[in-house]
């Protein structure tokens, strides 16, 4: 595994650790969602680096997934990926950080986002070894 790949995976794993610590707190579900988006983005960028899939400067999970889907093919809910994609776009101010189009995520949604991020992280880690 390349060093840069490992660096991306370590950073993605840090986001997962944080989510595990906070996902059951009602007041922190928006941060769980935000860090799930970050973990998935970093996991996808690890694949791009490891397999030399070209430079791509984007935060769009859908765009990144389309770039890596030939390398990793986990079975997951694409709708959750789309929802997390909407979360990150233009989140520049604290009041918007981690908010979904319909507001703050529930604990159930936060857990679903964590599960998705963890599933994709594990698929990427396995593919890059």
Q: Domains plus CATH for the chain?
A: 3-128 (1.20.120.330)
- Please name the residue ranges forming H helices in the chain: 3-22, 29-50, 61-68, 78-88, 107-128
Residue-wise pLDDT for 28-47, tens only, equals 888 888 899 999 999 999 99
Helix (H, G, I), strand (E, B) or coil at 43: helix
φ, ψ (nearest 5 deg) of residue 55:
-75, 135
Global pTM reads: 0.90
Residue-wise pLDDT for 61-106, tens only, equals 999 999 999 999 778 888 888 888 877 654 445 555 556 666 778 8
- Nearest of 13, 4, 8, 22 to residue 122 by alpha carbon: 13
């Amino acid at each position: 595994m390349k060093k840069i790949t490992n660096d991306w995976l370590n950073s993605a794993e840090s986001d997962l650790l944080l989510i595990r610590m906070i996902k059951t707190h009602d007041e922190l579900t928006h941060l769980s969602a935000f860090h799930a988006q970050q973990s998935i983005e970093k996991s996808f960028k690890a694949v791009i680096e490891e397999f030399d899939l070209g430079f791509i400067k984007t935060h769009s999970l859908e765009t990144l997934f389309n770039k890596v889907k030939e390398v990793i093919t986990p079975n997951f809910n694409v709708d959750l990926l789309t929802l997390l994609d909407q979360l990150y776009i233009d989140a520049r101010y604290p009041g918007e950080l981690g908010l979904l189009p319909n507001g703050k995520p529930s604990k159930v949604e936060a857990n679903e986002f964590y599960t998705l991020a963890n599933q994709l992280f594990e698929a990427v880690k396995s593919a890059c070894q």
